[in-house]
Structure 1
Amino acid sequence: MTATIGGDSDPLLRRRLRVTMGDTDAAQVVYFAAPARWAESMMSEWMAIAGFATSRLLAAGFGTPAVHAEFTYRSCLRLDDELDGCLRLDRLSQRSFTLRSDFALVGVSEPAVQIRLTQVYARTSGAALEVLLLPDELVRRLEGHRPPARPRRGRQPLTPEHRYTSQELC
């Protein structure tokens, strides 16, 4: 089961933020990596609310490592700009999920920056990562924020015994 959501699925989380001095370069323009920190903060907050706090996962020997990231910058953001951040589910499969973080100037509907981050659920024992099926509870929480799944044609179903590469998962 893989579903690409696109459009505007129900928000997982909304947050108002301000571009700070620490987010900008010497010209007071947002440094290219700053939105990644905002997106990670929103994702971590939602995961904790959903019962999957990063510290708890790591203590239990699991994690949600990123396997793919996309950044789209549509307009310039500057020091003290006030932003509306919105975290949405973009894609869901048996072993990965993609969250989309949109950051728009307050009062503007088009995001200035959009980030898509694909993560897997993995056992983190030793140096190796073993990619696992997403936990049922996490899938239930995510599925509450998307339309019904539409299977993608031409993809083989995943099997629990096979260790998948990030290319096979995304």
Structure 2
Amino acid sequence: MQTNHTPGDPAFPPGFVLPVRVYYEDTDAAGVVYYANYLRFCERARTEWLRAIGFEQQRMLAEDGLAFVVRSVRADYRSPARLDDALAVVSTIDQLRRASIIFGQKVMRGDTLLFDASIQIACVDWNRNKPAPIPDAVRTQLEKHQTA
């Protein structure tokens, strides 16, 4: 179950929160979440956030020829998550540019910060493989949730 929180709500962080449960398949031989899976959790959260505000990436690609792709990632691994942990992926929009978005994403276990990332997503014209402006309808919805 995902929850969409509005900026300024003192009871919740701004942005979007996606609950995630750690399954056996998410862990490595030591029983902790494999480092790359934090990026998967973040990808799911961004995708579900877009879906929650009315946009599906597959439809954007099919109808407009546009796709969101990861351009860069800065990530800090703070503490390990383990099998069966209940996590929350907290996503915020730190910068909304003409053709890109910088998301702040944190993976939390309760009040404990496990993973902290800044992920830049670019909007591209899939057929030309070139940057493209974020569609106005998407931009309008994202602006409502921008934190900075």
Relative to the length of structure 1, the TM-score reads 0.73
Give, as a single letter, the amino acid of the residue that structure 1 aligns with 2:136.
D
Secondary structure in structure 2 of the residue aligned to 1:111: strand
**Are 1:75 and 1:113, in contact at CA under 8 Å, matched by a contact in 2?**
yes
* Structure 2 unaligned regions, length at least 5: 1-11
Q: Deviations over 1:8-66 (max 9, x none)?
A: 9721x212222111111011011010111111111111112223311101212111111
Q: Which has the higher contact order (CA 8 A, sep 6+)?
A: 1
**Deviation at 1:113?**
0.6
Secondary structure in structure 2 of the residue aligned to 1:78: coil
CA distance 1:147–1:101, shift in 2 (3 Å):
closer
Name the % identity. 27
CA distance 1:9–1:19, shift in 2 (3 Å):
closer
Give, as a single letter, the amino acid of the residue that structure 1 aligns with 2:84.
D
Give, as a single letter, the amino acid of the residue that structure 2 aligns with 1:132.
A
Number of residues paired by the alignment? 136
Q: Distance in 1 between matches of 2:13 and 2:33?
A: 27
**Deviation at 1:73?**
0.6
Is 2:104 the counterpart of 1:100?
yes
1:30 counterpart residue number: 33
**Are 1:9 and 1:146, in contact at CA under 8 Å, matched by a contact in 2?**
no
Q: Pick the structure with greater CA Rg.
A: 1
Q: Deviations over 1:116-141 (max 9, x none)?
A: 2211111111xx41211222222211
Q: Distance in 2 between matches of 1:133 and 1:62?
A: 9
**Are 1:89 and 1:97, in contact at CA under 8 Å, matched by a contact in 2?**
yes
1:64 counterpart residue number: 68
Instruction: Note the 1:1-170 alignment, pairs <5 A.
Output: 10-11=14-15, 13-60=16-63, 61-106=65-110, 108=111, 110-125=112-127, 128-146=128-146
Q: Which has the higher strand share?
A: 2
Aligned Cα root-mean-square deviation (Å): 1.9
Give, as a single letter, the amino acid of the residue that structure 1 aligns with 2:80.
C
Q: Deviations over 1:87-108 (max 9, x none)?
A: 11122111210112211112x1
Relative to the length of structure 2, the TM-score reads 0.82
Q: Distance in 2 between matches of 1:73 and 1:14?
A: 19
